[in-house]
Amino acid sequence: MKLPFSILFSICVLTLYSGTSYAQAANPDNNITLTVNQPLVFSYNFADELVHDKIINNALELKVRSAQYNTNIYATLSLIGGDISQFAQQISLRLRNKTSISAATGSANTDIYLANTPVLLFYQPRMIDNTPYYSFYYDVVMHPFTYQVRPGTYNFSILFTMTQP
């Protein structure tokens, strides 16, 4: 069966239209920038450290601009070359400060435990003032280890994702 060119063209246009959001990913009105203020390095020298929190204060600053859309910000933990399951309930982000008064972040100083699936950090409604961006400052907390975490060197990454709800 031979489709008329007009139909094919319409399909193309419709698909492109629905995909315009892809172009919006680069929209300067909605973006996220991460600044690592303190290196995320956790070193252990004494056994006693294994059973106490280790905190890197003010480690991360997330700059969020949401001038066009409401946004959700998620974080996902991944372990590079290791079994992520042994780090369940191990690493959390603790909101230390923020410049947004409209973000739904939950209580300050509450730990948000990271996992290998996206965890919602906060909801930021569309900005209504002329602020260029809102800043969110996070401590990174390493919680007491379990015996299941074997001695070694582990590399991890925290992926921050901004999406439209």
Q: Which stretch binds another protein (CB under 8 A): 10-18, 102-110, 124-132?
A: 10-18
Binding track over 26-65 against another protein, x by CB under 8 A: -x--xxxxx-x--xxxxxxxxxxxxx--------x-x---
Residues numbered 129-158 forming contacts with another protein, rule: CB under 8 A: 140, 142, 144-158
3-36 residues labelled b (16+ CB within 10 A) or e (exposed) = eeeeeeeeeeeeeeeeeeeeeeeeeeebbbeeee
Phi, psi of 119 (to 5 degrees): -115, 130
Instruction: Classify residue 148 as left (phi > 0), alpha (psi -120 to 50) or beta.
Output: alpha
Shortest Å distance, C-beta 128 to another protein: 20
Q: Which residues bind another protein (CB under 8 A)?
A: 5, 8, 12, 15-16, 18-19, 21-22, 24-25, 27, 30-34, 36, 39-51, 60, 62, 69, 140, 142, 144-164
